[in-house]
Amino acid sequence: MIVALLALAATPIASTPALGTAAAQCRPHEPGPAIVVTVEGLKDRAGNLRVEIYPAVEGEFLADDNVLVAQGKTFRRAVIPVPASGPARLCLRVPGEGAYALSVVHARSGGQGFSLLHDGIGFAGNPRLGHSKPSAEAARVVAHAGITPTTVVMNYRSGLFSFAPLKR
């Protein structure tokens, strides 16, 4: 289990930072289908929040975004600076009603990747992480015709290799 999380953090992913952002961008008075993500449990108010939508299918959840798009599979990304105060919310348009797997990264330095030591991660459904990434089913959110709200609680390194929500 621990190896899977380390491999996720250490594997160079050939991501294209802008990939999926135009398709995910919500419009003023967005009618949907869209998912509004409220992010809770932030360690601090530094850096960026990056929300990504994947197919809710094992092998495609957290797969390389370039590969997913090239195969015609769903991938959407929204990135915002962490707000200085108040709720942190992101809106992502989705292709249609249905199940998606959703991840959130708190890139505390503002970078594109994920630092195992410093950054936070969370998933729809708020599965317990421990030493490994969750299944696509555990990170699943079902989008409806309009706006679908979901709340994600961030997890940060806790102990040597596990991740958990902050204790406050």
Residue 15 has pLDDT above 60, yes or no: no
Encode pLDDT of 48-88 as tens digits: 999 999 999 999 999 999 999 999 999 999 999 999 999 99
Indicate the SS3 state at residue 39: strand
Question: Is it the case that residue 139 has pLDDT exceeding 60?
Answer: yes
Helix (DSSP H) and strand (DSSP E) numbers for the chain: 3, 10
Q: Please report the pLDDT score of residue 17 as a whole number.
A: 60
Q: How far is CA 60 from CA 45, 57, 69, 72, 94, in A?
A: 31, 6, 11, 12, 16
pLDDT at 3: 41
Q: What is the pLDDT of residue 82?
A: 96
Confidence check: pLDDT of 1 > 50: no
Least confident segment among 17-21, 50-54, 119-123, 126-130: 17-21
Q: What is the distance between the alpha carbons of residues 168 and 160, in angstroms, rounded to a whole number? A: 19
